[in-house]
Chains A and B, each alone.
Chain A
Amino acid sequence: MKTRFMMSTAAGAVLAGGLSTAAVAEDLTLCWAAWDPANALIELSKDFEAQSGHTMNFEFVPWTSFADRMLNELNSGGQLCDLMIGDSQWIGGGAENGHYVKLNDFFDANGIDMADFIPATVTGYAEWPKNTPNYYALPAFGDVVGWTYRKDWFERPELQAEFMQTYGRALDVPATLEELKDIAEFFQGRDIDGTTVYGAAIYTERGSEGITMGVTNVLYNYGFLYENPDQPYDLEGFVNSEGAIAGLEFYKELYDIGTPPGSSNWYMGENIDAYRSGQVAMQMNFAFIWPGVEADENVGGGRSGYFPNPAGPAGQFAQLGGQGISVVAYSEKQDAALEYIQWFAQPSVQAKWWELGGYSALRAVVEDPGFATSQPYAQTFLDSMAIVKDFWAEPAYADLLIPMQERIHNYVVAGEGTAKEALDGLVRDWTEVFEDEGKL
């Protein structure tokens, strides 16, 4: 508490001094994952360097080791990063363990209003505790799991006719998860232009967060809840409800009948590769890949289409991705780091961020009348961002993620036990974590 008070005071002191008066040119380091949007951010940040006189350095780590590397850095009080674009689930730990500077006073002093950002991104990336006006980040990159499909294959008359004959409906964007499974099954092992192709690339990765980010898109839509809505941390009957069990069984069936052989440890990169190389008809992936798909010479240029995660029996939701940008509390260059956030929040910068391939979370950008037609995937992005849910963002999020990865992967990929056993086990694991945390 004392540390938090001191940080708030420090942030207040910084803004009281006035950011525009910062005269010392600093070398700032921004830490993020190594992926396409990071390259766009380097490009974008050149404007900041020109305007402010500060120099931007970047520390980008591949997704599979991003959490390990950066949480190590934060836990050890390291000063490598002045700015951190940390995953949405880190916000609880970042706030409670004093890794991130609280930004409320800074936002107030500089006219940055969280109401100007997509509400789901504010809750997901910036707030801790959730749904309270305590901000530790500025929404930096909106992201959500959606689907990409081979529009050119779907439009082939012979495939449409065969699909109609088999399933009694048109081969089109699936409205439900059941329809999606049919399409995956239809394409599985099919010969297209002399190549054997498969149904869908889905997340199965076990080492970091892959299979959790995938299976939740099905679990949510089948009725899985993280906890009793009326009693926090009450898990029994919500995590392992009958709907959740049916959802997990669905995901395993989809894996068994509609995915490429050998896709037992796939996450974002593997799914992209499989799709771009023409191995699969559909891929589950975060929206950040869509600009790259459009630009790809094999699958871009109108050959691909996009759709939000289809509905299930209990509704339509999609897994939230994306991140907020925070100032690291251990940085000695917090003034300059806050200056970067102030610059980044400007509407003109956010508009350019979208142009370069970054998914802005600023409402002025995404609610612009021209936004939905600005890119083939823009409307799907908007539709998907309206149905997001996120994983736990508790300080113990890593402890909660690991058993979910293990339980789900072991059931879906390795076929160990039943869906009920997997989710019952998850309830036990999570209960133990919350007991250790003193929350139960």
Chain B
Amino acid sequence: MSFSPIDRAAAKTPNGVARRIRGLSDRTIAWIFVAPTIFLLLAVNIFPLIWTIRLSFTNFRVNRPNNDVEWVGLQNYQRILTDPDIWQTMQATAHFLIWTIILQVLIGFTLAFLINKKFKGNDMWTTIIVFPMMLSPAVVGNFWTFLYQPQIGLFNYVVAFFTGVDPASFSMIGDVNLAPWAIIIADTWMWTPFVMLICLAGLRSIPDSIYEAAECDRASKWRQFWTITIPMALPFLMLAILFRGIENFKMFDLVVQLTGGGPGNTTTLTSIDLKREAFEKWRTGYSSAYAVILFVTVFGLASIYVKALNKVKER
């Protein structure tokens, strides 16, 4: 007669404990297992969220612990939504978000399409392409700061080589017109491989039989691409856009390392602005309202997007 591990564990359980457990319903046991996780979720996520919402209606400043905390109603929200500087950071964020997504999706999908073909050295190229996303954003920021140096930076020399301009005549991170593109280029370099990997998974999930059937129907490669590849890879593409959209909406480290939000406010994204309000100006109530607005914006947009994504998947 053989015993399973469960039987052996049950046999070793002391009688007292066994009696107590036998007295519990399955539902109670389930709660015992789930309770620590729920407790952690409440403590780490839900409580801070509720606390932040509460603070957003006050004038609380964490660096003035002795000051009276006053209930200011919607005043913080009103000030934020009517502040032209905040709208400027929103615009900078939108510019960064839209262009990084466009470039990363275009380049990432193209790379995935090429890598998906069978050729010699395929694995090696995949590893090389994926390398940037393995680096820390702080390292990438530092590294690109050197690349963009007008006197010694490789980037300026490459541009000079192709255009004939003096490499020291322009500064990618010091010029108000070029700095927004400097952060887009660095982020695209770092995160395009991520989009490529998701697209590659999408392309590899398309059964060969569909292409074979299309070949039988004498469909051209161009037609196969638009009627098979793109529609079937679309949910994956949309997923990549969702991930990159959420990540870049809260982009902080890479940009701080590269430009510090400057020159002027040209690369001050909302996350950088929020950090300044909360931990440099110490306007805790105001920055809580700011955080709530950003949370609602991201959550709302992401929810709409996920619904659209589900519809595409259902097709």
Which chain A residues border B148 with CB–CB below 8 Å? 262
User: CB < 8 Å: which of A260, A413, A416 contacts B151?
Assistant: A260
- B132 interface hit (Cβ, 8 Å): no
1/0 contact string of A42-84 vs chain B (CB within 8 Å): 0000000000000000000000000010011001000000000
Contact A261 B264 (CB under 8 A): no
- Binary interface encoding of chain A residues 27-48 relative to chain B, with 1 for a CB under 8 A from any of its CBs, else 0: 0000000000000000000000
Task: Say yes or no: B266 contacts A207, CB within 8 Å.
Answer: no
Contacts of B173 in A (CB 8 A): 262, 264-265
CB distance from B285 to the nearest CB of A (A): 12
Determine the interface band of chain B, counting residues with CB < 8 A from chain A.
20 to 34
Inter-chain contacts of A413 with B (CB < 8 A)? 174, 262-264
- Identify the closest chain A residue to B85 (Cβ): A406
When C-beta atoms are compared, the residue in chain A nearest to B148 turns out to be A262
Known: A261-B169, A264-B173. A402 touches B281 (CB 8 A): yes
Number of A interface residues in the complex (CB < 8 A): 27
Which residues of B (274-293) have their CB < 8 Å from a CB of A? 276, 279-282
| Closest residue on chain A to residue B171 by CB atoms | A262
Q: Measured between alpha carbons, how far is A410 from B265 in the docked complex, in Å?
A: 7
List residues of chain A with CB within 8 A of the CB of B276.
402
A144 to B234, CA, bound (A): 61
Which residues of B are found within 8 Å of A348, using beta-carbon distances? none
Q: Which residues of A contact B171 (CB under 8 A)?
A: 261-262, 264
Selected from A71, A206, A262, the residue in CB contact (under 8 A) with B63 is A71
How many angstroms from the CA of A262 to the CA of B265 in the assembled complex? 16
Q: Which residue of B lies closest to A196 (CB)?
A: B168
User: Which residues of B lie under 8 Å from residue A279 when comparing CB positions?
Assistant: 151
Indicate whether A102 reaches chain B with its CB closer than 8 angstroms.
no
Known: A264-B174, A399-B281. A414 touches B262 (CB 8 A): yes
Given contact pairs A206-B262, A264-B263, A414-B266, A68 touches B174 in the complex (Cβ within 8 A):
no
Give Cα A421–Cα B125 distance, bound, in whole angstroms: 54
B245 at the A/B interface (Cβ < 8 Å)?
no
Within 8 A of B (CB), among A375-411: 398-399, 402, 406, 409-410
Chain A residues whose CB sits within 8 angstroms of the CB of B169 once the complex forms: 261
Q: How far is the CB of A87 from chain B (nearest CB, A)?
A: 14
B192 at the interface (CB under 8 A from A): no
Counting CB contacts under 8 A, is A241 at the interface? no
Instruction: Tell me, yes or no, whether A104 is within 8 Å of chain B by CB.
Output: no
